[in-house]
Structure formats: C-alpha cells, structure tokens
Amino acid sequence: MDHIHEMIDQKIEELEREGNFKKEKLFLQHGTTTVYEHSVAVAKMSCLIVMQLHLTVDLDALIYGALLHDYFLYDWHDKSRGERWHGLTHPITSLRNADRDYHLGTIEKDIIRHHMFPLTLTPPRTKEGWVVCMADKICATRETVFRTRHEDIQPPMPPMGPEVGV
C-alpha cells in the first residue's frame, strides 16, 4: 500500500502544480472535512476497494478521477450563490473545471460525471467509475454521520468473503 500512497501523493503534487486543486482546501465538504481532505480520502478508499476486490483497473485514471471528482471550487453551503441543487449539479461543474485545468481521459471524465449515482440518474460506465462512486459514499457517510477523519484509511482491512461470520 505504501507505493499506492506514493502514487496518490505524486498525483496530488501534479494537480496542485498544474491547476487549482489546492483551492479545495478552502471549502468544507461534510462536517469539518474539507473538499481536499474528502477527495484524498476517496482516492485512498478507491485504492483499498480495488485491492480488496482484486480488480484490474487503470490505477492512474482511478486516482486522478477520485481526486478530481468534487472539483467544483465553490462553497456549496453558501445559499446566496444559488447552489440549491448542488448534489445534482456539482458533477457537471466539477467536470467542466477539471477539463479546463487538466488533460482528462475517458475514465476520469466518467468518474467525475457519474460519481453521484444514484442521485443523478446516469450510472458510471467504467469499473473505475463504479469504484469511486462506492468510495465516495463510504467516505461521505463517515464524514457526515460519524464525523470521522480519514487518517485511518490504511490496510489491513478485515477479510471479505464467506469466511466472515454474520
């Protein structure tokens, strides 16, 4: 997992150098978690899901898409901005911003555009998109319900499969 954390850190450095990724630190996402912290947590959780499920994915695209999935760059809590439908509209805004600031491939675009499924009606079309969609829900739940920070997203994770008792 150390090499994955290094990959994530490297991609964060690239995004900060080439665009406005650092601006995500200015905006709260859920509770006291910034959009930046949330995006990094979603990237880490996405990688854990891939490892646990032994999926074959484009890891570079998965990490970039996860880091940029909420690249909307505004305070969605500020109702004076007219952002009443943030949950429905921010994937489009995030994609527009990310496409403006970075060179996105098909997978990254799918991740950003469809990460809010099923709230938005169109599901992801790629494995990477489905993974980030799941990771986003897990992280958002932890941040909102449990007010949990994400420093603990590290292996080992509990085993998954038939050997786990119910």
Cα–Cα distance measured from residue 4 to residue 25, given in angstroms and rounded to the nearest whole number:
22
Q: How high is the pLDDT of residue 39? A: 96
pLDDT per 10-residue tile (average), the chain, 166 residues: 89 96 85 90 97 97 97 70 67 95 98 93 96 96 76 46 37
| Side-chain half-sphere exposure of 123, counting CA atoms within 13 A | 6
Q: How high is the pLDDT of residue 60? A: 97
Q: How high is the pLDDT of residue 73? A: 73
CB atoms within 10 A of CB 75: 15
Structural domain spans, the chain = 2-76+100-145
Bridge partner list, 33: 30
Separation in Å, CA 108 to CA 77, 115, 144, 156, 164 = 26, 11, 25, 27, 34
Cα–Cα distance measured from residue 62 to residue 85, given in angstroms and rounded to the nearest whole number:
26
Instruction: Report whether 35 contacts 88 (CB < 8 A).
Output: no
